[in-house]
Chain A
Amino acid sequence: MQPIDQDARLMLSFREGDRDALSKLYEKWAAPLLRYLERIVKNPATAEELLQDTFIRVHGARDRYSPDAAFSTWLFRIGRNLALNELDRARNRNPHFTADSPSDGDRRSGDGSDRKSNVVALVSPLPAQDEVADARREKAKMEAALGEIPERQRSALWLAVVEGHSYAEVADILETSTASVKSLVHRARAQLVERMQTEAEAAAANTEVGR
């Protein structure tokens, strides 16, 4: 029999009535889950609500939790499905809605109106040699590029590279095959390289024009 990990043990304790166990799971997984949800819905406030909803669902489904699967896989799958539902609802409310539309949250985090690197370059008062400003610009560009690729590619890449999930775990979260995840991840990487290169070329062209 496979040994169960700490998260699974906590979940089983929670199932037995130990409320602190849920808080411990929250402490461990809330931040990574929130970051992931922000990448899907692109709005910090909505992502926060979804984070809460996800743990409410975990509570509700505690009796059906099986330690055979990693807790984090189960958690992220619930969170993603809730986020997709939320995007559906937003589209139903506003047929012109896209998750790429700049929101208040996006603006707050600097990845909404600053989507285009040439805009970033033009509005930034800091010189290129300023490393902090450079790093901030690069992050804004990557965030924008990430937001432009299809959600499944974005999810697959984020879960594999940032969260360190195996392809099999990502497949479990996205409810697809491992082969499909492999393809989603490689296409996501290729698209991001292409977008970042296009952005860099546009920024270089803007610099030339500015001289």
Chain B
Amino acid sequence: MSDDAREEDRMDALISASLDDALSPEEAAELAALMAGEGMAGEGVSGEGVASRAQDFEDVDAALRALAEEPLDEARLEASLEAVQERLFESSPDAAVVIAGEAVADEIGVDAGSRASGRSESLFSRIRPAFYGGMAAAAAAMLFFAVGSGSDALRPGDLNPGGGLETLAEEAALGELTDEALVAALGYGAGPADLSELGLASPEDLEIVEQLELLDFLAAREAEGRG
């Protein structure tokens, strides 16, 4: 940087800080000297130069404030508030616990590595419905297989005392299978508490879910094409 450029940069710094009331006493004295045409040797740095540059900066500030004065659509803000409340207060308590865990990284800033791990949690939260759907379908398939092969490890009614195997399979396909039945059918534990999303979702699980989603998507697109 040339001497002139350095002086102009210094002048910019002083003017900018003065606009934000952030000048130290020494800097204020330096700026006053500049405005009086003293202090620096560069051609661009004169009393008039300072005043003109200050006006340029003030124009930029005014233009920025004008951008912020553009009215925001109130409906957008209200819809977002409703979405926040829905996500917070109508979701399960478990979800709130996960959210609290993520907040730490956001408060302190996150590096690329921790962002990557946050992404895998976020990925799961986005595909959670499909994941449970996939698990339900897998449970149904396991039950059919078990009965079809004559195994006595699982019998109709073992998992869903109130209904038969057909009912359970139908519930699974519709995504209405109870958490208890699903957890027990998959052998993950005794109840929904064991369906911990972070513990349960291995990379392999996620890959299967992604493949199921892709198949669903392709089937839907094909159906649309035919329609």
User: Is B83 close to A, CB under 8 A?
Assistant: yes
Q: Would you give the shortest CB distance from A19 to chain B, in whole angstroms?
A: 7
- Flag B33-65 by CB within 8 Å of A: 1 or 0 each: 000000000000000000001001101110111
Write the chain A residue with the least CB distance to B91.
Answer: A56
User: Is A101 close to B, CB under 8 A?
Assistant: no
Q: Which of B16, B61, B105 has the most CB of A within 10 A?
A: B16
Q: How far is the CA of A176 from the CA of B135 in the complex (A)?
A: 46
Set of chain A residues within 8 Å of B1, measured between Cβ atoms: none
User: Is A182 close to B, CB under 8 A?
Assistant: yes
* Contact of B16 with A57 in the complex, beta carbons under 8 Å: no
User: Is A30 close to B, CB under 8 A?
Assistant: yes
* Contact of B72 with A34 in the complex, beta carbons under 8 Å: yes
* Contact of B102 with A57 in the complex, beta carbons under 8 Å: yes
The 8 Å CB contact of A64, one of B80, B85, B87, B107, is: B107
User: Is A52 close to B, CB under 8 A?
Assistant: yes
Set of chain A residues within 8 Å of B119, measured between Cβ atoms: 89
Q: How far is the CA of A68 from the CA of B104 in the complex (A)?
A: 17
Set of chain B residues within 8 Å of A167, measured between Cβ atoms: 20, 22
The 8 Å CB contact of B64, one of A19, A82, A161, A175, is: A161
Q: Would you give the shortest CB distance from B212 to chain A, in whole angstroms?
A: 21
- Main SS of the interface on chain B? helix
User: Is B17 close to A, CB under 8 A?
Assistant: yes
Set of chain A residues within 8 Å of B53, measured between Cβ atoms: 193
Q: Would you give the shortest CB distance from A49 to chain B, in whole angstroms?
A: 9
Set of chain A residues within 8 Å of B88, measured between Cβ atoms: 56, 59
The 8 Å CB contact of B77, one of A34, A135, A186, is: A34
Q: How far is the CA of A190 from the CA of B70 in the complex (A)?
A: 24
User: Is A8 close to B, CB under 8 A?
Assistant: no
Q: Would you give the shortest CB distance from A15 to chain B, in whole angstroms?
A: 12
- Flag A180-193 by CB within 8 Å of B: 1 or 0 each: 00110111011011
Q: Would you give the shortest CB distance from A6 to chain B, in whole angstroms?
A: 19
* Contact of B99 with A59 in the complex, beta carbons under 8 Å: yes
User: Is A78 close to B, CB under 8 A?
Assistant: yes
The 8 Å CB contact of A162, one of B64, B81, B109, B118, is: B64
* Contact of B20 with A185 in the complex, beta carbons under 8 Å: yes
Set of chain B residues within 8 Å of A161, measured between Cβ atoms: 20, 61, 64-65
Q: Would you give the shortest CB distance from A91 to chain B, in whole angstroms?
A: 11
Q: Would you give the shortest CB distance from B119 to chain A, in whole angstroms?
A: 6
Given contacts A26-B84, A52-B80, A52-B87, contact A162 B63 (CB under 8 A): no
* Contact of B118 with A85 in the complex, beta carbons under 8 Å: yes
Q: Would you give the shortest CB distance from A87 to chain B, in whole angstroms?
A: 10
Write the chain A residue with the least CB distance to B79.
Answer: A48
Q: How far is the CA of A185 from the CA of B23 in the complex (A)?
A: 13
Set of chain B residues within 8 Å of A30, measured between Cβ atoms: 77, 80-81
A60-115 contacts to B, CB under 8 A, are: 60-61, 63-64, 74, 77-78, 81-82, 85, 88-89
User: Is B193 close to A, CB under 8 A?
Assistant: no
Q: How far is the CA of A74 from the CA of B84 in the complex (A)?
A: 18
User: Is B190 close to A, CB under 8 A?
Assistant: no
Q: Point out residues on B near A: beta carbons under 8 Å.
A: 9, 12-13, 15-17, 20, 22, 53, 56-57, 59-61, 63-68, 70, 72, 76-77, 80-81, 83-85, 87-89, 96, 99-107, 109-110, 112, 115, 118-119
Q: Point out residues on A near B: beta carbons under 8 Å.
A: 19, 23, 26-27, 30-32, 34-35, 48, 51-52, 55-61, 63-64, 74, 77-78, 81-82, 85, 88-89, 135, 138-139, 142-143, 146, 157-158, 160-162, 166-167, 175, 182-183, 185-187, 189-190, 192-193, 196
A/B interface sample: 24 pairs, CB < 8 A: A19-B89, A30-B77, A35-B68, A48-B76, A52-B83, A56-B87, A57-B103, A57-B107, A60-B96, A60-B103, A77-B109, A78-B103, A78-B106, A81-B106, A81-B109, A88-B115, A139-B66, A142-B60, A142-B63, A146-B67, A162-B64, A162-B65, A166-B22, A167-B22
Given A58-B103, A175-B109, A193-B60, 4 more contacts at CB 8 Å? Answer: A57-B106, A64-B103, A162-B68, A193-B53
